[in-house]
Structure 1
């Protein structure tokens, strides 16, 4: 059960304001990003160490020196930090259509390099398998439109509003005139009661599933959708309450461009449905794409001094369509400002920063670089103005299979009465899932404002962001980095240790099964031991003693021939359909199937692994049954050793 730092009902909101637009700049002067004023750095005089006599206590001198180093580093980092820089840079990135392999993604990397320095750009292939993933083909949108054959515009020029084009669409054969057929959800074969070969289909279902049914199986040329993911009536996120919003969608990574598609607003979709129900309707559709750069690009920057201690990784995905302000220009630009701040002070531990295409760039980089990391902080959707978006900042903890204290530490550093915040158990959703996989074994937390009324939509614009959110979260990350690099202050370490043991006690009372209670005790002790390695204080030692003696966490035993989670690399079209139904029916499915494999790779027997993962995510019996079948499929296809 998640430990909630602060609970609050989502805010009520007025109708979405008009989309913020900002004129595109024609050029960027070298050496300076327009619109950003870097504040001059002001240093306070460092306190001088009190002098001890020649025979004075050397230990006291060393302890005081360490304390000064911790205080001055923290003060210097927080003094240098300018959250307005992140917001201004977000406004620039929100002008770019940042598709994987697209020119907008390359331009976004260039903007970041102008701000933080050159760094290293690594290139990885698209359209191929990488570990457990199928990396989609490179995709660069050049233009397109959708009109009724009578001339009425349905989707404007995609050069002006690129979010109207479904990601991974293929190119049309010039302008195609297509009859429109309403197929309902369009996700089941039984819905195709009339021929759609060579037609455009109206479909309300999830576009990757619609693509497999309508285009791949039944020969449709075009998909027209209003699909809105993650609907939430509590914050006014429904098609009916946002009738003119256009949502971002994508076809599956296995698609090869056999068809194309358009995202339209709810109002436009209902207009089309009404017409199709009365008469034969035709549209003129044009879609122009190419392979862009032909690869995935990852920007990597190193700060601090490499040494005996493992580096800390900070990462933020850079992809998503224009505008994509909070998701995830906000994370990318906050990371850029954090790197600028870290570059201004001497660090005794190396920090690596990574900007990449979500999931695919991360797994490609790990498979290539094979870094040995201390921990990681994933920064994804952090700029939200909580009053406008209805969001709450979620600090996502590591899974039961990889105990750590870092999420508790971050939550303590972010706790305030001015913003909504909750510490959650492990969930999937972003790149931290790859790091927390048993085969990678890097404790990774994620910072994500969720839910968000404007998520994946044309309304995710910089006016929905807040400089106060950037300041709050940025200072929390800097505080946490200072703790990890120079040591956690005693009082803070005591709070973190108490939180870890309190959660262990809560879970121990909640479960009666001896297997689960034993694992809870083991992960509680493992998290406290990791905390002790960073800050060994009497309070931490006392909490460890109170936690009792347990068996240590088991060692990793590789059972999967890949690094990271096993995703769609093994799936046939039927497997993909089966997996999509499980995602729809069970919100815990992604977490459950990954964590079961994690436990198995820690030497836990299959049924015990299922029992532990079921307890961790409160999975229903039907989902557990599906997880058993999933393990059978992995074994049959050679992706899990029996």
Structure 2
């Protein structure tokens, strides 16, 4: 037995300890021939196997117990999330109060069918979303229930006395409230409506008869000082049961509603994983607010942020990852409203925010919810390296998780308690619908991760048991893979990233050229000249987007000279693509000379809008609500053009979120350099639809009158 270690053994120990003490190398490197990512293969494995969809699902179950659509429940969720974030290793965790304002809460809400066989239809205590937010207090017994069908047609109200009665509808409750309550004197509404308009292509009322929809009593429905009406939400099955009872005779109901308004506020929860470079951030967001249960929307995104933090802090502590180059700023906040306020409070911070990643509706079982896992591109005008990173991540995940039993277990992304569903992830062209749109509107490249569509969206069916831990794990890895590149890339790693951007950009511009040449080939002879101009706009926008994406790598530390060489290659390729378009057009044997510009076209070329500083997040819909009477014809022109656009896009197979808040998407092109005519062409490149220049002039004219835009020249 040797009592003392050999001197050589001691030396080995010292060398080993010295190596362990060294700072781990950057996770970002050259494009992997195996994964196609600019992350080292061992880092990819570490991100997969340290992160856990099962842990995320635990957080989903915890948050789904809370009604986060009121200040009390939201605050309880924020306090729990704050403690969990601190336990996960997040630093400088703060719960920042938002603006004080009137808050609503209910202490009782019950709807009963009266009579000898009295029974309770629904209860706020059992299902908080059964009593719509902002419902007013009311006590009443033996109130007559009157069915008005969808509540949208004159014939449904004909001959019906509604004064002092309760209205039953299967249509959108807002329309029924405005008509039955404010005009005809009903005291409240019971609605079995559950399908939001933007989800109509994916499910119809009655497809899921036991789901209860989520609703709010519209603000300003009744004059100030008058009590608000109540609104109960019931399932389609319950609505049909009540209508069946009405066929046998009058139905009376008892209503017990106790609500109150009180001063209070929501909050913005934030924290950081500190970076080594001062003044640079990558921002991660998830909206914490929503009804109970709201498991997929959006307990899933909120719980995923916690797991991302825990994964990073664990790998940094273990020495697998060095500290990030750029600070990771993590935000939990109310959707839209909270993001707007965060920008109001912190938009002017002396920080360069290089990218944003939003996590909203991540965990729906793809097979049971008939859903897809989606990652969005940034808008064309906001080209960034994040698009190539997203593409490479999605391609890697599909390749190694496209079957139930992939041959490489080290790249399998699954969870112990989750499904073995094959993955089919997709990248979608820019669409709005969550907080990433506000970051893009503010000029920060924003990417959204989500599962859409979802059969349980905005209903009581959005429960933890329909959230798949495996899908949560996959969404978490998609975020980790993308964020790691954005937060750790610098110097040589940023140059490797630029090479990835160039490779993926070549594929994307080829796809755009294909679309441009296809549209040109399908144009009638009389429309070739106009389509030739639009096809050239598609190609120019595509190449400019990819040049911008390459230049965004310079901000991360890629050598400017090397990146410039890549952009020059793009410029040569663009010239060749435009020559091919010209050849296609000339082969049609028609004149490419467009007619003389109309007066509207000349004005559109002269009008160069620019968003007023501080109004980056202003909404056209909000502007419309306060438009002056003399502006109503212009509003009508814009809305008619947008309806035509959405119809055309829908018939072409585009998803509903693609044209969600479309006027704001168009307004985001105003940069003080593009004329309205340029924006028309750029919007065609993005959406493949020709927006009438007259309507665009009215849109930007209204935005200018509303103080959102100004004229650059």
* TM-score, structure 2 as length reference: 0.71
By how many angstroms is 1:510 displaced? 2.5
Partner of 2:131: 165
By how many angstroms is 1:156 displaced? 2.3
Please, which of 440, 447, 465 is the counterpart of residue 463 of structure 1? 465
Residues 217 and 601 (structure 1), Cα distance of their counterparts in 2 relative to 1, 3 Å cut: farther
SS of 1:436's equivalent in the other structure is helix
1:227 touches 1:249 (CA, 8 Å); kept in 2? no
Q: In structure 2, what is the Cα distance between the partners aligned to 1:378 and 1:548?
A: 32
Partner of 2:540: 518
2:494 touches 2:556 (CA, 8 Å); kept in 1? no
1:396 touches 1:447 (CA, 8 Å); kept in 2? yes
Residues 238 and 310 (structure 1), Cα distance of their counterparts in 2 relative to 1, 3 Å cut: same
Please, which of 371, 374, 383 is the counterpart of residue 403 of structure 1? 383
1:200 has 2:172 as partner = no
Partner of 1:381: 361
Partner of 1:54: none
1:240 has 2:214 as partner = no
By how many angstroms is 1:378 displaced? 0.4
1:547 has 2:527 as partner = no
Residues 278 and 357 (structure 1), Cα distance of their counterparts in 2 relative to 1, 3 Å cut: same
Please, which of 334, 355, 358 is the counterpart of residue 335 of structure 2? 358
Please, which of 486, 498, 507 is the counterpart of residue 502 of structure 1? 507
SS of 2:454's equivalent in the other structure is coil
Please, which of 544, 555, 558 is the counterpart of residue 611 of structure 2? 558
1:434 touches 1:565 (CA, 8 Å); kept in 2? no
Please, which of 107, 117, 127 is the counterpart of residue 142 of structure 1? 107
Q: In structure 1, what is the Cα distance between the partners aligned to 2:255 and 2:366?
A: 39
Residues 570 and 594 (structure 1), Cα distance of their counterparts in 2 relative to 1, 3 Å cut: closer
Q: In structure 1, what is the Cα distance between the partners aligned to 2:140 and 2:473?
A: 48
Q: In structure 2, what is the Cα distance between the partners aligned to 1:263 and 1:565?
A: 31
By how many angstroms is 1:319 displaced? 1.3
SS of 1:386's equivalent in the other structure is coil
By how many angstroms is 1:532 displaced? 5.1
Q: In structure 2, what is the Cα distance between the partners aligned to 1:445 and 1:280?
A: 54
1:320 touches 1:327 (CA, 8 Å); kept in 2? yes
Residues 618 and 243 (structure 1), Cα distance of their counterparts in 2 relative to 1, 3 Å cut: same
Q: Deviations over 1:119-158 (max 9, x none)?
A: 211112265xxxxxxxxx5232332111223254463221
Partner of 1:570: 623
1:74 touches 1:478 (CA, 8 Å); kept in 2? no
Q: Trace 1:81-120 onto structure 2 (pairs within 5 A).
A: 81-101=51-71, 103-117=72-86, 119-120=93-94
Q: In structure 1, what is the Cα distance between the partners aligned to 2:616 and 2:371?
A: 33
2:96 touches 2:267 (CA, 8 Å); kept in 1? yes
Q: In structure 1, what is the Cα distance between the partners aligned to 2:258 and 2:675?
A: 51
Partner of 1:26: none
Bigger mean CA offset, 406-415 vs 534-543: 534-543
Residues 70 and 424 (structure 1), Cα distance of their counterparts in 2 relative to 1, 3 Å cut: closer
SS of 2:341's equivalent in the other structure is helix
Q: Deviations over 1:327-352 (max 9, x none)?
A: 11010001011122333423332111
Residues 120 and 189 (structure 1), Cα distance of their counterparts in 2 relative to 1, 3 Å cut: farther
Q: Deviations over 1:391-449 (max 9, x none)?
A: 11110111122122313312322332231211111111111111111xx1111010010
1:215 touches 1:258 (CA, 8 Å); kept in 2? no
By how many angstroms is 1:359 displaced? 0.8
1:338 touches 1:478 (CA, 8 Å); kept in 2? yes
SS of 2:668's equivalent in the other structure is helix
SS of 1:391's equivalent in the other structure is coil
Q: Deviations over 1:546-600 (max 9, x none)?
A: 321789xxx994347623131543343898x979996796545534201221122
Please, which of 406, 426, 430 is the counterpart of residue 426 of structure 1? 430
Residues 620 and 241 (structure 1), Cα distance of their counterparts in 2 relative to 1, 3 Å cut: farther
1:508 touches 1:521 (CA, 8 Å); kept in 2? no
SS of 2:660's equivalent in the other structure is helix
Q: Trace 1:1-400 onto structure 2 (pairs within 5 A).
A: 48=19, 80-101=50-71, 103-117=72-86, 119-125=93-99, 137-150=102-115, 152-153=118-119, 155-169=121-135, 171-175=136-140, 177-187=142-152, 192-193=157-158, 194-229=160-195, 237-252=203-218, 258-276=228-246, 279-291=249-261, 294-305=264-275, 307-344=277-314, 345=316, 346-370=323-347, 371=349, 372=351, 373-400=353-380
2:374 touches 2:426 (CA, 8 Å); kept in 1? yes
2:137 touches 2:228 (CA, 8 Å); kept in 1? no
Partner of 1:597: 667
Bigger mean CA offset, 442-451 vs 469-478: 469-478
Larger radius of gyration: 2
Q: In structure 2, what is the Cα distance between the partners aligned to 1:629 and 1:309?
A: 40
SS of 1:409's equivalent in the other structure is helix
1:164 touches 1:262 (CA, 8 Å); kept in 2? yes
Q: In structure 1, what is the Cα distance between the partners aligned to 2:440 and 2:27?
A: 35
Residues 430 and 177 (structure 1), Cα distance of their counterparts in 2 relative to 1, 3 Å cut: farther
Q: In structure 1, what is the Cα distance between the partners aligned to 2:249 and 2:681?
A: 55
1:393 touches 1:448 (CA, 8 Å); kept in 2? yes
By how many angstroms is 1:491 displaced? 7.4
Bigger mean CA offset, 158-167 vs 341-350: 341-350
Q: In structure 1, what is the Cα distance between the partners aligned to 2:240 and 2:217?
A: 22
SS of 1:119's equivalent in the other structure is strand
Partner of 1:606: 676
Q: In structure 2, what is the Cα distance between the partners aligned to 1:591 and 1:607?
A: 21
By how many angstroms is 1:116 displaced? 1.1
Structure 2, unmatched stretches of 5+, are 1-15, 31-37, 87-91, 317-322, 403-421, 517-531, 576-607, 648-655
Residues 342 and 66 (structure 1), Cα distance of their counterparts in 2 relative to 1, 3 Å cut: closer
- Give the helix-richer structure, 1 or 2: 2
Partner of 2:319: none
1:583 touches 1:590 (CA, 8 Å); kept in 2? no
Q: In structure 2, what is the Cα distance between the partners aligned to 1:311 and 1:548?
A: 31
Q: Deviations over 1:460-493 (max 9, x none)?
A: 1111112211221212212222212222588776
Structure 1, unmatched stretches of 5+, are 1-44, 52-60, 128-136
Residues 293 and 112 (structure 1), Cα distance of their counterparts in 2 relative to 1, 3 Å cut: farther
Residues 248 and 63 (structure 1), Cα distance of their counterparts in 2 relative to 1, 3 Å cut: closer
Bigger mean CA offset, 257-266 vs 355-364: 257-266
Bigger mean CA offset, 250-259 vs 371-380: 250-259
Residues 430 and 272 (structure 1), Cα distance of their counterparts in 2 relative to 1, 3 Å cut: same
Q: In structure 2, what is the Cα distance between the partners aligned to 1:603 and 1:190?
A: 52
SS of 2:461's equivalent in the other structure is coil
Q: In structure 2, what is the Cα distance between the partners aligned to 1:305 and 1:63?
A: 15
